[in-house]
Every structure is written in C-alpha cells, then in structure tokens.
Chain A
C-alpha cells in the first residue's frame, strides 16, 4: 500500500514536472528577444540584400534550436526599406521604437548606413553593418563587420605590386560614382603615390550606377595598358554594372594575364549571372570565399543550402560578416547577461568568435573586427580560388593613414577615452566625422 502510494506520488510529480516542461516554451514565447533585420527586399539593392535577410533568418533559427538566448527565444522582425535611403531611417526608427528590438542587422550601401546613423545614436540601439566600406567613420552604436579599406583595398594593391601579382606599374582605378569608390580611390591614389607611382601612371574613371555600355571605358583601359608597362585595373564598380563590364572585357579580348582586373565588389553572387569562362584569372579581394576548405565553412554552406532549399545558391563575404556579427552579439549578450544595448555595447569589445576561414575574429575597441585578407582568382566554375592570403589577421583601420585629414585620428570606445575620432596630434576628441 505504502509502496503503491509512493509510486502514485512519483508518477504524479513526474506528470507535473512534464507538464511544467511542456508549458515552459509556451510561456517563453510571450517573452522573446526581438532582432531587427533592415535589408531591402525590393528595388535595386534587393539583388544583394535579400540574401542577407535570409542568412539572418537562418542564424536566428539555428540559435533558437540551440535553446535561444538567456533562456528566451529569438524573434526576427523583418522590414523592407525598399532600396530607398530615407526609408531606411524611418524603418530603423520603427524597429527600435515600435518593435523594441534588441539589435538591428542591416544596410548595404554607405548612403543607407549614413541615413540611419542619427536614429541609432538618438534611440541608443545597435547596428551590425556587414559590408566592406570606405572607412572614415566610427560610431558608438555601430559595429562594422565588413572590411575597412586596409582589410581589402590596400592588401589587394600590395598583391598586384608583388612579383606573384605581376609587378604592376600602371593603375586604372575604375569605379561607380558614389561615396565608397570615391573615398577608396582617394585612399588608393594617396597610397600608390606614397609607394612612388607617378601621377601619369594612374588613371581614375567613374561611371554612373547601373552603367551598361562599357565599350569606351574598356577600350580606354586597353589604350592605357599599351604603354609598355604592366597594367592592372582596380575596380570598385558596383552591383549590376559589373556583368556588362566583364562581358565587354571578355569580348574585347582583355585577358587576365595581360591586364588583370582586381574587384572589391564582385563576389560569388555577382558571378552567378555570368559565363566565367573568359574571365578566368581576374581577381577579387575579400575576407571570405565560398571555396575556402574548412569544416566550419562546409557546415555553413550545407546549412545554407538546407535552409534556402536550393543547393545552387552561393555564399559570400557579407554573409560571413553577418555570421560573425550575430555570433559576437550572442556572446556579448551572454557576457552582459542582458540585451540592454548600453551594456551590450560595452561587452562587445574583445569578444572573439570563430570565422569561416579557420580562425577567430575579434571585436576591436574601434568597433571594427580582425579578419584575414584573401586574394582569389575567378575560376571557370564561377568560384574563386585563393592565390594569396595575409599571414595573420588584419585589424580594421577606420581612419585611413593615407589621407591627410584622417591620419591623426584614432577611435577607442572603451572608457575612459570613449571617442570615435580622437585626434592624437591635438589630444582632443572630435574633428573629422563630428557632425
């Protein structure tokens, strides 16, 4: 009898426990951590940004499968700023004020980032920005997980100057006419001149957004390249304009062995729209390639194919940046024990997470991260093959050392300095970048 009773009690308590376990997730669902995703799903930039929205959804789903964060489930809040720069600011405000998100992952173009900056500092929230950019900025509320110019442009030019890269002596800087190419080319021009390249060996040219008739430009490159010196093109041509540019290069017979093109905005996604047969050997500089052979990357690609239900979809550098940024945020939230943006911002500096190229990336005090720099050559199958890699990790340098008005500036968001544009020459916080 007694034995029986105890069994019943046990069974009963087990039942209560089980019931408690079953109801627990239901309770947590009312109390989720919201994560904002601010990427264009329509308009011109949808081509690049939709993929980033998808990869964020995948990362959040995976985190939830691992048990969420601080015992709560994550909930993605997706908005569509429709490639419309002022709308980015409106949607950011909506995410922070109305949806009360803990952090936002978003933006692609520099102008969209600039448009949301005041919103993030006013409402004190966090933005993770995943795209390579022109630098010359460091904000308390923004974490830059893409490359700064010294993590992409400068090593790329160094490679071309080296014997492996062909000892290039003449340079064409070809770009789309907006802030990223203009600033990057300004830095590169200063850098090349500092390396002793005479002004007549540098040609700078800009074309409008979505430019499609490259005949004149390509023949100008051909002409510039026939001065008896090894010539290379450094391309900051953006998005849609790349496909006609490369088609024209192929048709006019410019081979990578003669005049290589080093691109900063051409990734696996852009090549997906191209027959890469005639382009083999042209180069790109990134911090990640889909072809990188590491177990982390293999798992990431497999997960991505499973999530998107299409094993032909490629992965690219900004996707890795979001992977790193999201994992850093998760770690910082765990470290801070709260999602309160103020505490998370302080906890972020020094957080270190694995990247997909077999190493670790660390968040530095200037809110930029450390990354390896890879130079890849386009292959006939639309992938890149790494031909050069920096020996160690490169730390993102927000204020370029090659521009006269930013070479004295540094950024350190830790107390007591807590300044994004500290001038070491005058010893004062403020200067360029102060609005």
Chain B
C-alpha cells in the first residue's frame, strides 16, 4: 500500500516536472502546436503573427528555425519540433527549451514549408523580438530589418531599446530605424523633418529607397525635404559609383592577370602559342575540387584551409602535365608557330574530354571557405572578400614570379636562353631542360590561377575556354615578353571594360574593348611595353 502510494507520488512529481513551468509557456506551446494544422502559407503566416504578438523572446528559436526551414511536424503524433541534422537522421529539439527530445528519420517528419513572403514576415517579427538580444550583431541585424520595414508600431519598442542601449554604434542604427518608422506614422511634421535629416545622413541606397517611398506618399514640406535629401544622396552616390567602377575594374584586372600570367611565360617569354593554357587553369580548378572532396570526407575540420592545401598540389599537377606536353609535343615544334598552335589546340581538346570522362560533364561544386564569403563596406563601397583575396593573391603570384625571373640563377638561365639560345648553350646551359622547366613553370602558375578562379567561376571542363582569348589579349596588349606589360595590360583592360559596361552593356563593352585593342596593335604592334634589342629580331 505504502509502495503504491510512493509510486503514485513519484509519478505525480514526475508529471509535475514535465508540465510547462508557467501558464505563459503553455499558451505558447498551444500556439506553436497550431503549425501542425496550418494547411497553407497564409495559415502558417497567421500562426507566426500570433506568436510574434506575444512579444515573448522565447518564441525566437522556433521562428528562426521556421525561417531556416528547420521546423518539423512528427507524422505520428503531429507534434512540432525544431530539427537538427544529425547525419543519418534528424535530432528533434523542443521548440521552446531547445533540449533534445527525440530523434527521427527524415521520412517520419513533415517539414513546414516556407516561402519568401513568410520569411519576410518572420524576419520582421524577429526584428522587434531581438532588439534586446545580448549579441550586438543580432541587435544590428534587428535594426537593419526594422529600418527596411518601417511601421508606426515600432516606435515605442525602439524608444525603449534606445534608452537601454549602451553601444553607441548600435544606438545610432536604432535611431535611424526609429526615424524610418516615424515617417510612416502620423507624428507632427517637425518630427518628420528631423527624421528625414537623420536618414539622409546615412547616405546609402537603403536611405534612397526609403525616402523615395516617403516622397511619393507625402505632401508639402516633408515631400520637399525628402526630394532634396534624395538629390543630395544621389550626387554623393554617383561619386561612389565611379569609385566602385574602379574597384570592379581592378578586380576584373586581377582575374585577367591571374589567367594571363602563366601565358606571359609560355607565350611571352618562350614564344610558344599554347592553346592548352586554359586547360591548365581548368586542371588547377579540378585539383581544388579533388582536395575539397578528400577534406569533406576525411578531415572536415580543415575545410577553411582547403585552398592553401590545394595551391602547391595544383602547381605540381599542372607543372607535371605541362612538362609532359613540352617533352611529348612542343619540343618537336619549336620555330613552327602554326603547327604548335594546332597541336596545342588538339591537346586542349584531349584534356577537356579526359576531364569530362573522369569527372562527368556537369559542374562540380567547389565551396568557398568562410574567409572568402560575403562582403564588407568601405563607405558606400561594397567589397566582396573573394575578389579582394584574389587581387592580393594575383599580386603575390606576380611578385614571386618577378623575383624568380630577375633574381634567381634559374631565372637568369631562362632569360639567357630566350635572349640568345646558341650563346647560352655554348656557356654550358642545357637549353632543352631550361625550355621544359620554363614551360612547366608557366603551366604550374596557370594551375594555381585555377585554384583562385574556382572560387568565382564554375568548375566544368569548359572552364579554360573562357579565359584563353582574354589571356592572349592581355599578353599581346601588354607587350610580349614583358611581365610588367602583362600587369599593366591586365589592369587597364579590366578598368576600361568595367567603365564601359554600365553605359554600353556587357556585350557591346567587350566588342568596344576588342576594337580598341586592334586599333592599338595597329599603332604599336609590339604592345604597351615593347622589348628592344636582339631578342625581338630572333
């Protein structure tokens, strides 16, 4: 009897501890349970709005999970859980406490569908809920959302948040968001005018976007203030646009430089018309893909280092292939440019088809390490990390190559052979080996260019095709045989191209650049920096 009572008591206790700790939580759970019965997007949206209306910070985890497509319904009992991918199945977490409740196979769960409209609603709701988050980055995101979706109802929570905010930069963002909301409210005109001044000080596209809609929906002094603010911002933005074009040009130039720099050696220094140059770039990109595949399956922790690991491997692989091509084909064809052109064209087709047979014709996914994703702002200039790193990398490769050519004994031999082959041979230089190694160097550099280009272009057997023409253009324009010419050529072509593009469009812009180069070559057949002396006549 006592035993039974004891058991009963324990059971009661256990049940009590399992029960929600407060009535509010029980209410929230009841609302969350409604997700299971929501038949379409608008029904789900109604549930989201109901959750958001509670203003309880506890609803943040299930709402973010919903926005990320991680909210599931268990088919067996229609319970709602936050899902977390756990290899073969999915871990089910309690939507409010975040504790692991169970795990299930994917087939036993129904994912709650979201669309863009729903994601927007959730983002807006989260904006208000996360104003007091402890992480400043979350608060900044909240301010940004509220700025983009102004609502008179936001003013009060923002006022409270501004009063409690200690971080000055976050506080400024809150004030801007408050100003945006103020403009759509029915507050007095004087408040609105100062709000416009505050927003105009932001000076970015979001401010223009907001003020344009204010201008369209208001009269009198507010309308005038908005239009003059737009005019001021637009004139500053025009200057930033010019700056942005220069940056885009430099960035395109760095890509051209990377693609062309290997060719500057094989074509520029050695005089071999190497149509398989693009395929060396492609092989480098595929090496990156293979390295990432191995890292993904065996050492997932090293993913951010995958590019660094791929660099030397890509250099070795392509240098070896280059060496094989030189020894196998090109060395029999020195001095016969037409045959070289055809033979290397054939080699390029063979390499393309070989890669297609081994890896398949479809694109391969090469991931961006975290340090190469996203962008940052300088003033109104958005600079993407991957472009910045590629620029740094291109200059680094250029610097190293220049050092090798000018300051090492090997570079000296290379230049000696190019300048006067017979003299170099009689000085005891083994010219065939210098040829082979120079070609391998050029190919290897094309390979490491491929590692970088895999980050911005798609990795497919056709990758090299897109770069071969541009590479020749850069080398010819810059001056055959001159590395500095290649550098200046790449950047000037990039910048000219990017300045033409906004006005002429990408298609016409490219044509204009090509025509300009043809005219330039008519005037200066040896390019920007022509080599002088005996090497030219040889």
Query: Which residues of A approach B to under 8 Å, CB–CB?
Result: 41-44, 46-47, 50-51, 163-166, 177, 205-208, 210-213, 215-217, 219-220, 222-223, 225-229, 240, 242-244, 247-248, 250-253, 256-258, 260, 269-270, 272-275, 278, 280-281, 283, 377, 379-380, 385, 387
Contacts and interface: CB of A to CB of B under 8 A. Distances in A.
Contact of B209 (A227, A251, A252, A260): A227
A243 B458 contact: yes
Given A272-B363, A281-B116, A216 B245 contact: yes
A272 B119 contact: no
Given A219-B244, A228-B209, A228-B216, A47 B465 contact: no
B224 interface: no
Given A164-B41, A220-B502, 10 more contacts: A50-B356, A164-B115, A165-B117, A210-B465, A210-B466, A215-B387, A226-B209, A248-B456, A273-B459, A281-B119
Contact of B205 (A41, A222, A250, A377): A222
Contacts of B251: 213, 215
Given A206-B506, A228-B212, A380-B69, A47 B361 contact: yes
Nearest to A375: B115
Contacts of A41: 361
B507 A46 contact: no
Nearest to B209: A226
Interface in B247-261: 248, 251-252, 255
Contact of A215 (B69, B120, B205, B248): B248
Which of A177, A220, A251, A256 is packed against the most chain B CB atoms within 10 Å? Answer: A251
Contact of B362 (A216, A253, A272, A379): A272
Contacts of B119: 256-257, 281
A354 B53 CA distance: 47
Contacts of B365: 272-275
Contacts of A253: 374-375, 382
A209 B66 CA distance: 38
Interface in B368-392: 368, 373-375, 382, 384-387
20 contacts: A43-B462, A47-B362, A47-B363, A50-B361, A51-B361, A205-B506, A207-B506, A207-B507, A213-B252, A215-B248, A219-B382, A227-B212, A229-B213, A244-B457, A272-B363, A273-B460, A275-B365, A275-B367, A281-B116, A387-B41
B353 A213 contact: no
B206 interface: yes
B203 interface: no
B393 to A, nearest CB: 16
Interface residues of B, number: 61
B248 A216 contact: yes
Contacts of B368: 247, 275
A210 B462 contact: yes
B69 A280 contact: yes
B123 A257 contact: yes
Contacts of A223: 205
Contact of A51 (B362, B386, B462): B362
Nearest to B360: A50
A207 B505 CA distance: 7
B192 interface: no
A256 B20 CA distance: 37
B390 to A, nearest CB: 11
B501 interface: yes
B178 interface: no
B498 interface: yes
A43 to B, nearest CB: 8
A210 to B, nearest CB: 5
Contacts of A225: 209
A248 B383 CA distance: 11
B462 A47 contact: yes
B116 A256 contact: yes
A213 B255 CA distance: 9
6 tightest A-B CB contacts, nearest first: A273-B363, A228-B213, A243-B458, A228-B212, A226-B205, A226-B209
Nearest to A379: B69
B525 to A, nearest CB: 27
Interface string B429-471: 0000000000000000000000000001111111001100000
Contacts of B113: 385, 387
B505 A205 contact: yes
A247 B456 contact: yes
A197 to B, nearest CB: 16
Nearest to B459: A273
A46 B461 contact: yes
